[in-house]
């Protein structure tokens, strides 16, 4: 069966989804992952109904890296389900100044994307590893990179610049914004689930281990809380969010920390983990009686409220607020915390609707309705991949007619 394979690779896991590559709508066929790479590898997958298709463990040496994980997943798809991908779509966190839309990857593009690793060290190396592996093993298979920064590239100059010399902006030091595939999906869903506000001023909060917020106007991004890197904006699971640059200078000059040590502190030891001293997992903090856990949760909610004010100002007001991603979709208690911080905007939460994870969790008649809309970055990647392949085929046909 012809299909589009979507890959989202992490440091110890490769998540994949398979979509039917027909001419009609994209149908999700399989959702799976290989976790525990090089430690305790495990292949798991389910079909479109959620029924388990495979749950197999491997010896650590059998799947020692991302390339081996892809090979195992590919073999399982081919031999057990006769699925032959016609293309592979990848989530790539940072597109830098060069890439504002999905692109077919070759070795030159891969080399350019590798130069951005220092701007997204948690994500970029893992995003690029499967691309590199497939280029080596199957160079003729089309691969499409879909960027988390692309959706925000239409920002105006005021939202795009830092107050730094223009030469640095020209070199790529600018506000990119991230989680763009998630925001793009939410923007595409709002006309269906919330048509009365879809074309208006909407703030979307992507709340997970990585967290950010985005201001939408007419379904387009006009401002994001993240900037040059995925460290900026909201506090996150292990990242601090907005930080006075003087803190970096102090750590280097007064504490004698190396750049590598500072990077480790900001990417792995800060955020909810650093504030609580307990965990970066919302579930652990919710269950804890330690006052530090409560402080971390209050801090997170407080800063969401502060950034909501900033985004509302960028929009000239707000007509709706949307929760999405892991925490936003699943933690009723944290949504309630945030709603308290947004009351000045005109929100009023409905406890029963919130507890049931309803689409609309605000009280009837609230000035600013609150929505919970599950995100789906993988379907966006599949859509972009199919569209790029279709455009490529159209251009080829056009060139053949001319010849």
The answer to whether 323 and 334 have CB atoms below 8 angstroms apart is no
- For 145, the 3-state DSSP assignment is strand
- Catalytic positions, please? 148
In sequence order, what DSSP letters do the residues of 164-191 get, joined into one string? S-HHHHHTT-S---S-HHHHHHHHHHHH
- In angstroms, rounded to a whole number, what is the distance separating the alpha carbons of residues 124 and 313? 32
- In angstroms, rounded to a whole number, what is the distance separating the alpha carbons of residues 265 and 276? 15
Q: Which of 241, 236, 224, 186 is nearest to 310 (CA)?
A: 224
The answer to whether 151 and 221 have CB atoms below 8 angstroms apart is yes
Which helix or strand (DSSP H or E) is residue 296 part of? Answer: helix 291-315
Backbone angles phi and psi of 376, in degrees to 5: -155, 80
- In angstroms, rounded to a whole number, what is the distance separating the alpha carbons of residues 392 and 70? 26
Q: Which of 174, 179, 175 is nearest to 213 (CA)?
A: 179
Q: In what order do the strands lie in the sheet with 220-224?
A: 220-224, 211-217, 201-207, 320-324, 370-372
Angle of helix 124-137 relative to helix 107-114, nearest 10 degrees, comes to: 160
Which helix or strand (DSSP H or E) is residue 33 part of? Answer: strand 28-35
Report strand pairing: 2-9 vs 84-92. parallel
Which two structure tokens, joined as six digits, stand for 89?
A: 């779509």
The answer to whether 196 and 284 have CB atoms below 8 angstroms apart is no
How many residues does the structure list for the chain? 403
């Amino acid at each position: 069966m012809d299909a589009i394979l979507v890959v989202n690779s992490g440091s110890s896991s490769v998540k994949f989804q398979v979509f039917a590559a027909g001419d009609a709508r994209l149908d999700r066929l399989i959702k799976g992952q290989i976790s525990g790479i090089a430690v305790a590898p495990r292949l798991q997958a389910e079909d479109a109904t959620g029924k388990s298709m495979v749950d197999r463990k491997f010896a650590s040496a059998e799947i020692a890296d991302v390339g081996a994980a892809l090979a195992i997943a590919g073999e399982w798809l081919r031999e057990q389900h006769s699925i032959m991908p016609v293309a592979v779509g990848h989530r790539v966190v940072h597109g830098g100044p060069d890439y504002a839309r999905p692109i077919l990857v070759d070795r030159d593009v891969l080399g350019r994307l590798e130069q951005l690793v220092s701007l997204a060290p948690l994500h970029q190396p893992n995003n690029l590893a499967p691309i590199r592996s497939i280029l080596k093993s199957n160079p003729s298979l089309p691969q499409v990179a879909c960027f988390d920064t692309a959706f925000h590239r239409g920002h105006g100059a005021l939202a795009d610049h830092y107050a730094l010399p223009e030469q640095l902006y020209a070199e790529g030091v600018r506000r990119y914004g991230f989680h763009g595939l998630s925001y793009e999906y939410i923007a595409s869903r709002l006309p269906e689930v919330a048509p009365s506000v879809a074309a208006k001023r909407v703030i979307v909060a992507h709340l997970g281990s990585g967290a950010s917020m985005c201001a939408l106007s007419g379904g387009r991004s006009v401002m994001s809380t993240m900037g040059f890197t995925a460290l900026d904006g909201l506090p996150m699971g292990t990242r601090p969010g907005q930080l006075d640059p003087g803190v970096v200078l102090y750590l280097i000059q007064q504490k004698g920390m190396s750049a590598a040590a500072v990077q480790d502190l900001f990417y792995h030891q800060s955020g909810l983990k650093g504030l609580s001293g307990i965990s970066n997992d919302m579930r652990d903090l919710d269950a804890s009686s330690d006052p530090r856990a409560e402080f971390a949760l209050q801090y997170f909610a407080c800063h969401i409220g502060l950034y909501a004010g900033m985004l509302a100002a960028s929009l000239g007001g707000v007509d709706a607020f949307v929760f999405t991603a892991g925490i936003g979709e699943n933690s009723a208690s944290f949504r309630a915390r945030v709603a308290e911080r947004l009351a000045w905007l005109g929100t009023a939460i409905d406890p029963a609707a919130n507890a049931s994870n309803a689409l609309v969790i605000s009280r009837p008649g609230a000035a600013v309705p609150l929505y919970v809309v599950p995100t789906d970055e993988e379907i966006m990647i599949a859509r972009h991949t199919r569209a790029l392949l279709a455009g490529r085929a159209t251009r080829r046909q056009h060139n053949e007619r001319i010849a």
